[in-house]
Amino acid sequence: MRDLMQGFQEAPNSHPIFLHFPLVLLPVALLFWIIALAVRRDEYFKFGRWLLYLAVLSAAVAVWSGLAAESQVGHDTRHHELVHRHKTFMLVTSGLAALLGGAAFFLAKSKAFWVKAMLTGGLAATVTVMTLGADQGGHAVFGHGIGTRVQSDGPLAEVAHPDLEHGHARRGEKHDGHAERHATEEARDGHPEKRDGRADSGHKHEATKGQAEPKHHEQAGRDHHDEKTSKPTVPPQPEKTSAWVARNKRWPPRGPWMWSVRDRLPQLNVEFNGIDFGHAHLAETLLKTLKESEVERGRIEVLDFIFSKPQVPPDEEQIAATFARLAWEAQRAFNWGHIFHRSLYDLFASDVPDKEKVYRELLANYLSKPEALTHHRLDLHGKLWNFRESKAFSSKFPKFNTQIWAYHWLQAAAYDVQLMGDVGKQRELFKKIIDHYHGYLRRPPVEWQMMPMLEEGAPEFSKRFPEAAQIFNNLHMLHDNIDDILCRPDLYPTNGEKRKAILSVVEIYLHRNHEPEERRAEFHAPEDGAGHMKEMMKDMGPRPPSAADILEGRISPEPPHPPLNGGHPKKSSRDEDDKHHK
């Protein structure tokens, strides 16, 4: 029964349960009264009258539950005026329905046609007011996400990653009027290191209302250091935190380029659909289990999906429902980054003449949203790859890790292919690129020690469109950071602690923390970013090829792979990974 009634268990309040009764009963009562007037049948009017009585009772319950829901949302919620308009319309509706119900009761024995007509006209006016109020309520919920619960554990404060707290705000001290901060931990080498001060980034913070402060304790038995938790503080918006927040659903920017990959490069489109599934499935898997056999089974399930050639992009929030609720801010950043990805692929597969101009417009639109990741070159090979949890996923699950990196390689190489000619030429060239990518899926390149960079897979695109290249490098590294956090239950044993760590890392990448005011300068790559990257790559073993390397035959060919049969490799010739399919 628990599984069958999840909607009732997870409902943010009782209002959605009761509001639909008067919405249905009043129009149906009106319908029966209109029919009764048309055919002059008293029994129809009597039936409509009883429906009106039920509607009045259900409206009273709906009003009660609606007022309770309004108090939960809070008056500081954005677009709260929609809630007030909805309430006004519905209070008027309930009052009119009650008056009509009383009049219908006292005039029940009247046979006069004009009495019935007057009651019917009054009910029609009531339904009209109700319709206007329902529209305001729907706009508040579906247009702005008001009253939507996204975190079952209640509000969560914005806190610093344990490796990234300021060292100057000690216990008992105040820092620029902010909430009290606790002593920071030392780095794994035993020396204090500079922290980014995520929770003290210039915003006003206050203790989360109703949220218990975590007990400060030393975690004995850790292999590198003791750690202390910091007092939670709330994010800057809204100042009065609540479990009910507005979530804006982003849609791709409109233009003549939309759906060009789907319609003109179908073979690439199905690969991208598979990649979308792969990212979401991994996050959900790591939240549920870290057992090697189960994670490997998840990897094979992703391969099955990819080789099934999915024609429709999956809804990542449906696949990774647990992760989307745990860290919806991160999921929103991922979604918006993926939309930017897809928009650019569509643009370069279209016949739009001035692609440079449209690129600038798409870039500006992307960066204008609060969940956009920055185009600044960050220290991906240094500080952002050296947290306590860094490399946990790649060391525990090297095949799945490099399978994910193979997705990123295809996403990078695809851009350079698109710059090599019109869509007809692209369609021809992608056959070889996708075949090479499938080789990576069958035999993950576990010799790679760092994710593919856009500059490696798509050097030409990176030169011409450096902002997008850096955004996608940052996006892909953020995926790795979060996978590592999910793989360290010893550091983050509860979902709450995982969420705190995830949000603190996301803050580093958000563009609004780099412009117009720079708040994360310590995470920028050295000034000679490209040179720094090349130097770091020297010690990282074999690196992925560029699209041109594949197309021009400048690399050693991959060993022969089993042929595809209906999307899946034939069982008779599959390698050792295929045993997991049995």
- Tens digits of residue pLDDT in 103-130: 999 998 888 899 989 999 999 999 999 9
Q: How far apart are CA 229 and CA 161, in angstroms?
A: 10
Q: How far apart are CA 85 and CA 78, in angstroms?
A: 14
CB 155 within 8 A of CB 243: yes
Q: What is the pLDDT of residue 535?
A: 61
Residues 411 and 522 in one domain: yes
Residues 139 and 168 in one domain: no
Q: Does residue 486 belong to any structural domain of this protein?
A: yes
DSSP 233: B
Token pair of 259, please?
């759906």
Q: Does residue 303 belong to any structural domain of this protein?
A: yes
Q: How far apart are CA 485 and CA 387, in angstroms?
A: 10
**Beta strand pairing call for 564-565 and 568-569:** antiparallel
Half-sphere exposure (CA, 13 Å, Cβ side) for 2?
0
**pLDDT < 50 positions in the chain:** 1, 76, 149-244, 559-582
Among residues 489, 443, 455, the alpha carbon closest in space to that of 381 is found at 455
Q: Does residue 252 belong to any structural domain of this protein?
A: no
Residues 483 and 574 in one domain: yes
CB 571 within 8 A of CB 578: yes
Residues 185 and 289 in one domain: no
Q: What is the pLDDT of residue 68?
A: 83
Q: What is the DSSP string of 465-497?
A: -HHHHHHHHHHHHHHHHHHHHHT-TTT--SHHH
Question: How many Cβ atoms sit within 10 Å of the Cβ of residue 75?
Answer: 10
Q: What is the pLDDT of residue 249?
A: 73
Q: What is the pLDDT of residue 369?
A: 92
Q: How far apart are CA 12 and CA 154, in angstroms?
A: 11
CB 416 within 8 A of CB 460: yes
Q: Does residue 253 belong to any structural domain of this protein?
A: no
Residues 137 and 161 in one domain: no
Rg (CA), the chain: 29
Of 102, 120, 144, the one marking the end of a domain is: 144
Among residues 486, 202, 163, 127, the alpha carbon closest in space to that of 326 is found at 486
Give CA angle at 112 (109, 115), nearest 5°.
90
Q: What is the pLDDT of residue 547?
A: 95
What's the structural domain count of the chain? Answer: 3
Residues 549 and 411 in one domain: yes
Q: What is the DSSP string of 138-182?
A: HIIIIIH-TT-B--TT----B---TTS--SS--TT--STT-----
Q: Does residue 280 belong to any structural domain of this protein?
A: yes
DSSP 521: G
Residues 322 and 214 in one domain: no
Q: What is the pLDDT of residue 576?
A: 40
Among residues 376, 317, 360, the alpha carbon closest in space to that of 520 is found at 376
Q: Does residue 251 belong to any structural domain of this protein?
A: no
Residues 119 and 171 in one domain: no
> In terms of residue numbers, what domain contains 160?
156-246
Residue type, 545: P
Q: What is the pLDDT of residue 273?
A: 94
